[in-house]
A and B are shown apart, each in its own frame.
Chain A
């Protein structure tokens, strides 16, 4: 398997995560430590320093640091500050014993970690831990008190289904991993966490099934994640662009999903999930071209209707890519291919139109893209105005004014609607760009231009790879056994083997009992029932 590596990296980048700060071990003096921390943090309004020191007694001085808004203040006061101020034994101890006492007995919080350098301490602080510094101890404690305002779990906005789970990922990494974990209750589910981004320190989690995900692909993804040396990771697209296979291509080679069930399904087939903190859009890699046409709803409906819908999607793909181009090619170069009556009607419509078909189509397509972008950006209150402008002024009025032909309006509208049928926004967007190229070729070389550009696309896609997996598999290279979940969706009972498309080993994922026995016993179907 050929794996492409990121080759144009700077030779001097470091993989050390906190490389922007020099390495500062904690001192035993509380004042020195506090001074150093204050120097690094500066005067930030949201950082709370609180000291419990009573110079008159011989008890050790204690300092707390936490960030207001990242911690649960009730928890900090009740579970951290109060026990430490109240404890009768604490005052009599020497610093080392006091430290042990605090660590092992006093604090009633779940997560408690030790920090020995200022850098790890700051890292803990920014994650919402309350830091406890003890005079005379070279080790600081970080209590897990993090709590911040989160969006609750909502229905996914971009990948809706009629039947199926209605919850989507949220911006919180932990919530996302828990949603996957809840669906895959197996010891094989592994969650590997990374921190990427020098300034954002964004949590990135690799989620996969041990023994099913291909080790080779996994190693490659880890390698590419480690190689990332950037300021910031604010959304999953940062990761996607930084780790995807090199080469200029309009096609996405990593899938993004907002649905935990889609991610669980992908993981069960051997894909590797990448969840990024701060965005509900998680990534699935490696992805093939055909995986972008599979919706998780395909598996929640009867296979016949799912197969039909898949065929509709592929047709919509071709319509969305080719329809305006075909219209241009046929009306400009190959009129003889149309039935005479249709040709006459088209010619009559185009009679008053001042532009060639290519310009006409280009104008209309661009107009639609403008409308679409406006629909995303504009405030909700102005929505109806845009619909009126779009529907009436640019549709009917434009036709009546003789600027465009009515047939062209139909073509453009149908193209636009078809584009929304494709389940993945990523591939729908790449078609939007390809469509313009297609129209250009159709306008200059007619059908030949369309065929040529299609052929170039086919060659291009045949050469693409996603983490070593050929982009067009399992069609090219073909594996006839796996075709039953590509063009159509075969009944679950017939998909007994897990495909090895993503580099995993082929293995049964269902009990291979004969049908009669299965019907009498408890039927155990579905994706969740896998044997590794």
Chain B
């Protein structure tokens, strides 16, 4: 375990929140059950996620300078807190594994159909492992390099959709055809837990801000900005493809980009989308991987490098458990969502309750 170094600048925090939340989200149309209202479902999800974010921020403000591990121990006592931390460690590893598998499957579909998934996933995991080996300071610098490039690509795509009249916003009509119920059904809890609830990981990252306190302002602005962006991307996706096609394709954004065939120079802008998927999934996988490693290293007082190897091996092995893509998706949309609710909502709520009760007893957290 390395002592906590406060190295992340405000900008790094902001960029990290944005990049982490974007992740691979715009590739998929979440809440496609709500048909053309998926973007409304996204908005509802973002709003609910915002409530969760406020909860996490409240917890962090009550216990500044503390990481999730310490918070759980503080809230639930040594043994219970320790065990819950260990479970969280596994949860993060599981999430990392899901992203890894996602990547493996997507690569097999769009990039390298002939290459075995074990190779592509290994390469992907090794990149994550290398970043963790280099330490959190390096990880926090990555968004500053990657996010501008990523946003540039997104703006090219959006510009193309709008200029080449690919996007037809009438496809978003009629708004809320069947009332609010389908929208809410699609949004809760699916969209909340992916991607918005995943901001939970920042309970391990906020404490690295290089100023005293909690980067509340930075996080909230980043969250609002990224939510608007994600909602817009969702709307664009549907506007290009229409609700039915969106619902049926594996990667709607890729399909949408493939409609841009009017360009003579490059037939398809696949390369851009591939790049976006790569960066998005990598940063998600990396952060979950890192959080798992960090939790493990905090629990055992061992160095992060050792745990990076161990956790990496576990993640790699676990990524082969699911038989195929169908099962991967089925688990992702079924049991996984229920687990997410426990880890992203239930436990933090109980923790907050415990903290509130302690606070009434007259406890003043340091700082």
With A336-B268, A459-B130, A476-B145 as known contacts, state yes or no: A446 contacts B111, CB within 8 Å: yes
> With a CB–CB cut-off of 8 A, which chain B residues contact A477?
9, 11-12, 141, 144
- Least CB distance from A248 to B in Å reads 13
Q: A456-B130, A478-B144 are in contact. List 17 more A-B contacts (CB 8 A).
A: A333-B111, A445-B119, A447-B111, A448-B107, A448-B111, A448-B120, A452-B123, A455-B278, A455-B282, A456-B127, A458-B146, A459-B138, A460-B130, A463-B135, A476-B141, A478-B9, A478-B11
Question: Closest chain A residue to B148 by CB distance?
Answer: A475
Pick the 6 closest A-B CB pairs, nearest first.
A476-B141, A476-B144, A463-B134, A462-B141, A463-B138, A478-B144
> With a CB–CB cut-off of 8 A, which chain A residues contact B79?
none
Residue B188 at the chain A interface, CB threshold 8 Å:
no
Query: Is the Cβ of B9 less than 8 Å from the Cβ of A459?
Result: no
Query: Is the Cβ of A476 less than 8 Å from the Cβ of B123?
Result: no
Q: Is the interface of A mostly helix, strand, loop or mixed?
A: helix
Complex CA gap A339/B264 in Å reads: 7
Query: Is the Cβ of A458 less than 8 Å from the Cβ of B112?
Result: no
Query: Is the Cβ of A340 less than 8 Å from the Cβ of B127?
Result: no
Residue A378 at the chain B interface, CB threshold 8 Å:
no
Residue A472 at the chain B interface, CB threshold 8 Å:
yes
Complex CA gap A295/B175 in Å reads: 56
> Which of B34-42, B44-52, B154-162, B269-277 participates in binding chain A?
B269-277
Query: Is the Cβ of A337 less than 8 Å from the Cβ of B130?
Result: no
Residue B266 at the chain A interface, CB threshold 8 Å:
yes
- Least CB distance from A78 to B in Å reads 64
Q: Mark B137-154, 1 if CB is under 8 A from A, else 0.
A: 110011011100000000
> With a CB–CB cut-off of 8 A, which chain A residues contact B267?
336-340
Complex CA gap A476/B139 in Å reads: 10
Query: Is the Cβ of A448 less than 8 Å from the Cβ of B112?
Result: yes
> With a CB–CB cut-off of 8 A, which chain B residues contact A338?
266-267
Residue B265 at the chain A interface, CB threshold 8 Å:
yes
> With a CB–CB cut-off of 8 A, which chain A residues contact B130?
456, 459-460
Chain A interface (Cβ within 8 Å of chain B)?
333-334, 336-340, 445-449, 451-452, 455-456, 458-460, 462-463, 470, 472, 475-478, 480
Residue B124 at the chain A interface, CB threshold 8 Å:
yes
> With a CB–CB cut-off of 8 A, which chain B residues contact A336?
267-268, 270
Contacting B11 at CB < 8 Å: which of A445, A451, A459, A480?
A480
Query: Is the Cβ of B278 less than 8 Å from the Cβ of A446?
Result: no
- Least CB distance from B19 to A in Å reads 12
Question: Closest chain A residue to B134 by CB distance?
Answer: A463
Residue B364 at the chain A interface, CB threshold 8 Å:
no
With A455-B282, A456-B130 as known contacts, state yes or no: A445 contacts B123, CB within 8 Å: yes
Residue B248 at the chain A interface, CB threshold 8 Å:
no
Chain B interface size, as a band, is 35 or more
Give chain B interface residues in 83-122, CB to chain A under 8 Å.
107, 111-112, 115, 119-120
Complex CA gap A451/B144 in Å reads: 17
Residue in B123, B266, B282 whose Cβ sees the most chain A Cβ within 10 Å: B123
Query: Is the Cβ of B268 less than 8 Å from the Cβ of A337?
Result: yes
Contacting A445 at CB < 8 Å: which of B120, B135, B137?
B120
Query: Is the Cβ of B145 less than 8 Å from the Cβ of A462?
Result: yes
Complex CA gap A456/B266 in Å reads: 27
- Least CB distance from A291 to B in Å reads 17
Residue in A340, A445, A449, A470 whose Cβ sees the most chain B Cβ within 10 Å: A445
Residue B354 at the chain A interface, CB threshold 8 Å:
no
Query: Is the Cβ of A470 less than 8 Å from the Cβ of B141?
Result: yes
Query: Is the Cβ of A339 less than 8 Å from the Cβ of B142?
Result: no
Can you report 20 residue pairs joining A to B where beta carbons are below 8 Å apart? A333-B112, A334-B270, A336-B270, A337-B267, A337-B271, A445-B115, A445-B123, A446-B112, A455-B282, A459-B127, A460-B130, A462-B141, A462-B145, A472-B141, A472-B145, A476-B145, A477-B144, A478-B11, A478-B12, A478-B15
Residue B131 at the chain A interface, CB threshold 8 Å:
yes
Complex CA gap A459/B290 in Å reads: 14
Query: Is the Cβ of B144 less than 8 Å from the Cβ of A475?
Result: yes
- Least CB distance from A454 to B in Å reads 9
- Least CB distance from A387 to B in Å reads 34
> With a CB–CB cut-off of 8 A, which chain A residues contact B135?
463
Give chain B interface residues in 241-284, CB to chain A under 8 Å.
264-268, 270-271, 274-275, 278, 282
Give chain B interface residues in 144-203, CB to chain A under 8 Å.
144-146
Query: Is the Cβ of A462 less than 8 Å from the Cβ of B266?
Result: no
- Least CB distance from B82 to A in Å reads 31
Question: Closest chain B residue to A487 by CB distance?
Answer: B148
> With a CB–CB cut-off of 8 A, which chain B residues contact A339?
264-267
- Least CB distance from B226 to A in Å reads 18
> With a CB–CB cut-off of 8 A, which chain B residues contact A459?
127, 130-131, 134, 138, 142
Complex CA gap A73/B282 in Å reads: 71
Query: Is the Cβ of A337 less than 8 Å from the Cβ of B270?
Result: yes
> With a CB–CB cut-off of 8 A, which chain A residues contact B144?
475-478
- Least CB distance from A113 to B in Å reads 50
Complex CA gap A463/B131 in Å reads: 9
- Least CB distance from B209 to A in Å reads 13
Give chain B interface residues in 14-33, CB to chain A under 8 Å.
15
Question: Closest chain B residue to A338 by CB distance?
Answer: B267
Question: Closest chain B residue to A2 by CB distance?
Answer: B137
> With a CB–CB cut-off of 8 A, which chain B residues contact A463?
134-135, 137-138
- Least CB distance from B15 to A in Å reads 8
Question: Closest chain B residue to A474 by CB distance?
Answer: B144
- Least CB distance from A359 to B in Å reads 19
Query: Is the Cβ of A334 less than 8 Å from the Cβ of B111?
Result: yes
- Least CB distance from A338 to B in Å reads 6
- Least CB distance from B135 to A in Å reads 7
Question: Closest chain B residue to A326 by CB distance?
Answer: B271
Complex CA gap A458/B139 in Å reads: 10
Complex CA gap A339/B265 in Å reads: 7
> With a CB–CB cut-off of 8 A, which chain A residues contact B282?
455
Complex CA gap A337/B266 in Å reads: 7
Complex CA gap A470/B145 in Å reads: 13
Complex CA gap A172/B145 in Å reads: 42
- Least CB distance from B120 to A in Å reads 6
- Least CB distance from A169 to B in Å reads 34
Complex CA gap A478/B146 in Å reads: 12
> With a CB–CB cut-off of 8 A, which chain A residues contact B146?
458
Complex CA gap A475/B15 in Å reads: 12
Question: Closest chain B residue to A462 by CB distance?
Answer: B141
- Least CB distance from B122 to A in Å reads 10
Query: Is the Cβ of B134 less than 8 Å from the Cβ of A462?
Result: yes
